[in-house]
Structure 1
Amino acid sequence: MSDENPTVPLPDPRAQWALSTDAAASGTRTEKPRKRRWPWLVAVLAVVLLAVGAWFAGEYIARGIVERTIREQVTTQLALPADQPIDIDLPGQVLPQLIAGRFDQLTLSSQNVPFGQLTGDVVVHASDVPIRGDDPIGSASASVTLDQSQLQALLATVEDFPAATVALAEPDVDISMDLKLFALTVPVGVGLTPSASAGQLVLTPRTLMLNGAEISAEALVDQFGAIARTVVRDWEVCIAQYLPAGLELSAVTVSGDTIVADFAIDGAIIHDEALQQNGTCPAS
């Protein structure tokens, strides 16, 4: 070898071994790079959020379809005007109830619903309502609210009833009638208590006012004889012809300036066409 190109000596293997040994002896460790797991957590969270969003989107769409279908069915079955506003309250999530095949609770309400020539505000409550099959509704009830003018229109259909004098004074329906005895005409005020009997509205005299003073039915009959029977009498009002046959009047009360009629609903009405048709009144 020449001096111009000196030979570089090879590293001594023992020196490398000694270096490694010294590093190990000094307690120094070479750490492996840690795997970053947070991208996986973000991905899982994104999937969950997408699933939740899809659920709520499906719930929104399903609720819209259900409410539209119910509204169309009610309008058709009850022969209501196409533009009759109907509010629908369906509590809870719709999709699970659709899967189960039954609605837990359902409330329908509408104002100024026409019943032939009459109108009134209607609220219907139903529970355990089947979506498919021929099963009946678990339970259902309805209430119809009439104001004074609407009640007058109803009572105007009753023969000899002084509907024009009707006034609502909780808890009674007040009317005024004239007793005619020869040339004498005596106005009598009557407070009628409403009730339900055999599916009919019954108005029963509770108070009688003569010349501004309260008088008993017996005293009125004693004073005016048989003619007083035109005042001291029950008035039966059939309303079956205005409502589906599947509804039966169960209670009537005067509340403030309205009269509220409660009805029990036959659960088979959702499938039985005969129950969906208006009822009939007994022959007089």
Structure 2
Amino acid sequence: MSAGDTHPTQPLPEWAPAPAPRSRRSAWPWIISAVIVVGLAVAAWFIAEWVARGLVERTIREQIVTNLALPADQPIDVTVEGTVIPQLVVGELDDVTVSSQDVTIGSLTGDVTVHAQGIAIRGDAAADSAAASVRLDTQQLQTLLSGVEGFPTESVALAEPDVTMSTELSVFGLTIPVSVALTPSAVEGELVLTPARFQLAGADIAADDLRNRFGGVADVVLRDWTVCVAEYIPAGMTLASVSVEGEELIADVDIDGAIMSDPALQANGTCA
């Protein structure tokens, strides 16, 4: 027996495979699904917002065309500020601007912009505030002034900050040209043109000197000219201020907030 025989041989341990790692489901499919759902929700919101905005703007345009008896194809731009859907839920449009060029109401034509805030879309509540501006070029102003008896309409021009006109004064058989710069203003809702400067045969002259030279004949150029505009605009609108900027006369108009629901305010006003 050899020395090695004194230590019995131990059997080799059986090989056991390592336990398989627990499988983990990847989180990516869930994340991707969530992103898709959120994306679809956002897309649906924007589509709904786009549809709601188009419906609101189209309805406003149709109401304006109907209430002001404008041509069906009148170009009208409507802008509703902010997100429309929450405003529809609340029942009030926060801020709306409407503009159109060459708007004809009766014999008055001009470019009109209306800005209103707090417009109720349900019930008869008045708007929180509303105002408009009307822009007239020289030809449009001439048309407006053509209804004023004795006014030399064809000579009217716009020279910031005034409206200008020219006429002739006749004395002892002599005809002398006179030019007048008129300052426009709004007085109790009417357009008033007040003489501010004069030129006699091209030379500057004061009002007193003009009266001393021509007496009562000069009244035609020394007088104020008053133009009633109420018959051209809805009764719920009042002329607030007038100015000349560049080659346009700009009339700012205050609007009664109840005009949105009151037919009497939507109808044209009258002149005394």
Equivalent position to 2:137, from 126, 147, 154: 147
What is residue 189 of structure 2 aligned with on the other side?
A: 199
Moved over 2 A (4+): 28-31
Aligned residues: 262
**What is the distance in 1 between the residues matched to 2:238 and 2:107?**
20
- Residues 4-24 of structure 1 deviation map (CA, whole Å, 9 limit, x = unaligned): xxxxxxxx9x956xx67xx9x
1:95 is aligned with what amino acid? I
How far 1:117 moved relative to its partner?
Answer: 2.1
Deviates more, 1:117-126 or 1:201-210: 117-126
What is residue 62 of structure 2 aligned with on the other side?
A: 72
Deviates more, 1:259-268 or 1:111-120: 111-120
Which of these two proteins has the greater Rg computed from alpha carbons? 1
SS of the residue aligned with 1:71?
Answer: helix
SS of the residue aligned with 1:279?
Answer: coil
- Identical positions, percent: 54
Alignment of 1:118-133 (within 5 A): 118-133=108-123
- The TM-score, its normalising length taken from structure 1, stands at 0.88
How far 1:106 moved relative to its partner?
Answer: 0.4
C-alpha RMSD of the superposition: 1.6
2:154 is aligned with what amino acid? A
Equivalent position to 1:176, from 146, 149, 166: 166
1:184 is aligned with what amino acid? L
What is residue 78 of structure 2 aligned with on the other side?
A: 88
How far 1:35 moved relative to its partner?
Answer: 2.3
- Residues 144-172 of structure 1 deviation map (CA, whole Å, 9 limit, x = unaligned): 11110110111111000000000111111
How far 1:185 moved relative to its partner?
Answer: 1.4
- Residues 181-222 of structure 1 deviation map (CA, whole Å, 9 limit, x = unaligned): 231211111000100000000000010001211111111111
- The TM-score, its normalising length taken from structure 2, stands at 0.92
Q: Structure 2: state its 5+ residue gaps.
A: 1-10
- Residues 206-253 of structure 1 deviation map (CA, whole Å, 9 limit, x = unaligned): 100012111111111111112111210100000110100011000111
Asked if 1:102 is matched to 2:92, the reply is yes
Equivalent position to 2:101, from 111, 130, 139: 111
How far 1:31 moved relative to its partner?
Answer: 3.1
**What is the distance in 1 between the residues matched to 2:55 and 2:150?**
50
How far 1:30 moved relative to its partner?
Answer: 5.3
SS of the residue aligned with 2:222?
Answer: coil
Q: Structure 1: state its 5+ residue gaps.
A: 1-11
